[in-house]
């Protein structure tokens, strides 16, 4: 596995977490253009549209990464890394709670990431 693809995978994790953060903020915002129908306001606002853009970039990037990295390595790295990153970002940006159970779960995930290649 090339280290270039590993770096791209880490970039994909970060971009995915940022995109999800935009979607979370957008789901709770009421700032939308007047032309957007009331039923679409949670889906089409100034936060969700960039969130969709980030996730689209992650999709394209993932396809490219899978050309140089086996799925059995990329998928666990992406899912576990995304879970950790979004938990940390939601604590830092959205001030969501970080319980002892979440911290224990993150520690178990990190241990699994290091034990997986063995």
pLDDT in tens, 29-84: 777 667 777 777 777 888 999 999 999 999 999 999 999 999 888 988 899 999 99
Calpha distance 54→21 (Å, rounded):
10
Write down the pTM of the prediction.
0.85
User: Length of the chain in residues, anyone?
Assistant: 118
**CA nearest neighbour of 75 among 108, 107, 106, 113:** 113
Spatial contact of 62 and 74, defined as CB atoms under 8 Å apart: yes
Over the chain, what is the mean pLDDT?
89
70 Cβ contact list (under 8 Å, min separation 6):
1
């Amino acid at each position: 596995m090339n280290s270039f693809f590993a770096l791209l995978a880490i970039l994909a994790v970060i971009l995915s977490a940022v995109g999800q953060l935009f979607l979370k903020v957008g789901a709770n915002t009421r700032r939308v253009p007047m032309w957007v129908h009331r039923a679409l306001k949670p889906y089409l606002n100034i936060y969700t549209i960039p969130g969709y853009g980030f996730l689209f970039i992650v999709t394209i990037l993932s396809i490219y990464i899978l050309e140089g990295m086996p799925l059995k390595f990329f998928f666990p790295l992406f899912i576990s890394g995304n879970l950790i990153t979004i938990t940390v970002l939601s604590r830092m940006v959205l001030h969501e709670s970080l319980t002892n159970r979440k911290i224990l779960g993150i520690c178990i995930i990190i241990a699994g990431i290091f034990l997986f290649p063995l």
